[in-house]
Structure 1
Amino acid sequence: MAKFAYFDCLSGIAGDMTLAALIDAGADQEQIQAALCSMGLPELKLETQDVKKCGFRALYLQVKHPPEHAHRHLHHITEMIDSAGEIDDQAKELAKSIFQHVAVAEAKVHGTTLRKVHFHEVGAIDSIADIVGVSVAITSLGITAAMASPVPVGSGQIVIDHGRVSVPAPATAEILQGVPLAASSLQAELTTPTGAAIIKQLATDFGPLPPLQIESIGYGAGTADFPEQPNMLRILIGQRGELDTSEQQSISEFRQPTVIQSDSVAVLETNLDDASGEQIADCVNRLFDAGALDVTQIPCIMKKGRPGVVLSVIAPPELSSKLETVMFRFSPTIGLRKRICQRSLLPRQTITIDTPWGTIPAKSVQISAHEQRIKVEHDDACRMADQHDLTPESIRHYAEGVALSDNERVEPV
């Protein structure tokens, strides 16, 4: 029977706390151990023990393994998961979705692509064990829906591979976009990137404990001790009654990693029927120089049947006054329309691609959590093609293929 889980994140959430709480709530530790070993990690061992946190009992989990220093990429981890014979398909998909949240966040904060991003702490064996172990536990317990309390992240500063950063760490903050956060005065990192990715994937709602017929409760202990409160995660599992259609889906489908972002832009427009082409072109160039994000010219028919142009400008709201001045000074308009619009957009960044003929800049666009688009600008391709007696299209084809895959490359001709 499908079950519902409530994550009580009083002291945040981390991967080891979550896995410990699920084992404490009834997940089979030996089954999880076997699943992890089948990923090609035969020396990995899960060790658990009862501990006290501010006088309350909780289960503490440690992942034991030989030392290693490798930084894995996402595709390495995906291959390990897919090759595991003791993990069912539902748990595999859930684990890969959780890792995807981390990969998208790490790629953004480090200015790279999903293909090239290193996983640092998340690529370490213990974090792989946490995420995959949680996925196996969730599916084996029959949990198909979950919600959580608002998530505290802590405060202060911590030291990571890249030096000292404020809490929440950059990747954690990226992952937790859209997740309600709870205030905490504790000077510590309460929520880790692994924990953030787990709760982002599992929880479809955040708030107080809903009506629930509790069947089991698990307590997972964190490593640190706080005098103010017990450092542990509590997970309550049971029946919530009739679930709506969305809650009857597989939990791996609940919150697919999303990369769509939103912001606000100013849109300035004016109709021109008494400007020459040269005057409009000059105005457009000045608008771009002043910070316009985009400028378009739309042919139109104005009053008295005269042909005209709608000059439309998209700009950051803080630059709208500056761009208004440009339009009034360098076009014959005596009035314009302006509005603030909400804009949905895909994350994009400029990257450089190594080719046999040198490096070439390109735009990397994240279409979804599992798909990206690479675009080499035509002017850049032309410059490289002219220098090496190649065609621009072959340069673009090769460079974009290199960025998307290290395995399938088409030699230019």
Structure 2
Amino acid sequence: MRTLYFDCFSGISGDMVIGALIDAGGDPVQMEEELKKLNIDEEYNLSWGKVVKNGITSTKFDVILTSKSEQTPEHSHSHAQEHSHGHSHSHEHEHSHGHERNHIHVPHTHHSSRTYKQIVEAINEANFNESVANMSLAIFKKIGEAEGHIHGLPLDKVHFHEVGAVDSIIDIIGAAILIDQLGIESVQSSAIPTGSGHVHIDHGIYPVPAPATLEILKGVPIASKDIRSELATPTGAAIAAVLAETFGSLPAMNVELIGYGAGTKTFENHPNVLRVIIGETQ
């Protein structure tokens, strides 16, 4: 059985998943074409390229929002120098915005958000193949239910601020497209390190893991890591929680493909990358 293993020794986020899957041999151009079915491609540009993280060559994936996106100003990162595919991002640039972009908040204004219902409709109308649609819908439902639980809202009243924003829609559906494209039949994962400390979000200073992330990881083994930083984002946590059938050490497999996906942050003592290992298991 063709199996994908998420080796999350430095956590997991949506952009790290896509970077790792591209690094392992996924076709980002085909993914970009598929994503056009959502009819929101005026709102973003995609960028991917090789970076070195503490000695490991990995792929950094970015969603660059355009002026047509529905973002609030503080999230409209203008990355003019990143517009070309395969651009090697500078280290200074990697520090400029952390994994916080994947946090979900109750919006300041309704125009800056998309509702859970709108996202479901967009996926259903896009005519993705069944596998891609089912994976994407299941991941969004996981995040929506967690967010609704934290804020005391029913699913159809949940507004996604940044996860509803373009970058995380791309991260989730893009990951589903690449997993489908790579012919993955089964997903397994290591335990998920969440990191520790605090993170600043719209509601104030929250503990790490953020409440939505912890809710998403109910029933999933969490690994302890001393790093005072947010290692698992809600998007990354939901991808692993929904897709992985089991959590534990690397299964016995005939390894075929290996990929490293770079996170935005750089840590002193270990490479901030997600490793994916793809091969045949019994």
Q: In 2, are the aligned partners of 1:152 and 1:181 still within 8 Å (CA)? A: yes
Partner of 2:223: 182
Identity of aligned pairs, percent?
46
Alpha-carbon distance in structure 1 between the residues aligned to 2:163 and 2:41: 19
Q: CA deviation at 1:33?
A: 0.4
Alpha-carbon distance in structure 2 between the residues aligned to 1:23 and 1:45: 16
Alpha-carbon distance in structure 2 between the residues aligned to 1:28 and 1:81: 21
The runs of 4+ residues in structure 1 deviating greater than 3 Å are none
Matches within 5 A, 1:10-409: 10-43=9-42, 44-66=44-66, 67-69=69-71, 70-85=112-127, 87-241=128-282
Q: Which amino acid aligns with 1:226?
A: F
The Cα RMSD (Å) is 1.0
**Secondary structure, counterpart of 1:230 in structure 2:** coil
Alpha-carbon distance in structure 1 between the residues aligned to 2:70 and 2:146: 24
Alpha-carbon distance in structure 1 between the residues aligned to 2:3 and 2:9: 19
Q: In 2, are the aligned partners of 1:120 and 1:161 still within 8 Å (CA)? A: no
Structure scoring higher RCO (CA < 8 A, sep ≥ 6) equals: 2
Is there any run of 5+ residues in structure 2 with no aligned partner, and where?
Answer: 72-111
Q: CA deviation at 1:188?
A: 0.5
Q: In 1, are the aligned partners of 2:70 and 2:113 still within 8 Å (CA)? A: no
- Cα deviation per residue 1:294-335 (whole Å; 9 max; x = unaligned)? xxxxxxxxxxxxxxxxxxxxxxxxxxxxxxxxxxxxxxxxxx
Matched pairs, number: 239
- Cα deviation per residue 1:192-214 (whole Å; 9 max; x = unaligned)? 00001000011111111111101
Alpha-carbon distance in structure 2 between the residues aligned to 1:156 and 1:98: 26
Q: Which has the larger radius of gyration?
A: 1
Q: CA deviation at 1:88?
A: 1.1
Alpha-carbon distance in structure 1 between the residues aligned to 2:267 and 2:217: 23
Q: CA deviation at 1:131?
A: 0.1
Higher strand share: 1
Q: In 1, are the aligned partners of 2:191 and 2:220 still within 8 Å (CA)? A: yes
Is there any run of 5+ residues in structure 1 with no aligned partner, and where?
Answer: 242-413
Q: CA deviation at 1:42?
A: 2.2
- Cα deviation per residue 1:229-281 (whole Å; 9 max; x = unaligned)? 1000000001002xxxxxxxxxxxxxxxxxxxxxxxxxxxxxxxxxxxxxxxx
**Secondary structure, counterpart of 1:133 in structure 2:** helix
Q: CA deviation at 1:128?
A: 0.2
TM-score, scaled to structure 1: 0.57
**Secondary structure, counterpart of 1:38 in structure 2:** helix
Alpha-carbon distance in structure 2 between the residues aligned to 1:93 and 1:147: 18
Partner of 1:9: 8
Partner of 1:301: none
